[in-house]
Structure 1
C-alpha cells in the first residue's frame, strides 16, 4: 500500500511541478540564447525534432518529468515568449545590448 501512495503522490503532486520548472528553464534558456546572439526561432524546431526522435507518447508524456518535445516547442513559440526573445536577439545583433535582462 505505501508504494501505491508514493506512486500516486509522485504522479499527481511532484511531476506537475517538475514539468513547470522545466518549462521555466526552457523560457530562461530561450532568453539566454537570444542574449548570446543566437536566433531564438530555432529552439522550437529543435524541440519538435527531439520529440520525433524520442517518440513522444501519451503515456510517456504523462509520467515523464519533462514536457514532451511537442509541448515545449508549442510553448516556446507562443507570441509573447518569442517576441521577448526576438527583441533581445535583435538588440544584441544591432549592437545595442540587452537592457534590463538579468
Structure 2
C-alpha cells in the first residue's frame, strides 16, 4: 500500500510527479490555486527550448539539452513540431554580445 502524498504546483512537472506517484500506488492530491498547467507552464509559451537562454554557460546548455531529450521522450505526442522559433538579444545592455552568442550556438 502506498503513502499519502500532496503535490504543490500543477505545472507540467508537478502534474507529472502526481501521475507517476499515483501509478506507483500512492494516494496523491494535487494542489494549485490556478489549476492545472495555468501558471509557469502557460507563461513559458509552452515551449521546449534547447538552452539558447543560457549562452554564457555551456554546462547549463548541455544539461538543458539532456533534459530536453528526456522531456521529448516522455511527452512526444503533445509536442507541436515544424514551428518557427526566434531568439533575440538586445543590441545594447546585454551581458551577452552578439559575437559570443553566435560562437556559443555554433559549438
* TM-score between both structures, scaled by the size of structure 2: 0.27
Kindly indicate whether structure 1 or structure 2 has the higher relative contact order, using CA contacts under 8 Å at least 6 residues apart: 1
- The structure in which a higher percent of residues are helix is 1
Larger radius of gyration: 2
Relative to the length of structure 1, the TM-score reads 0.28
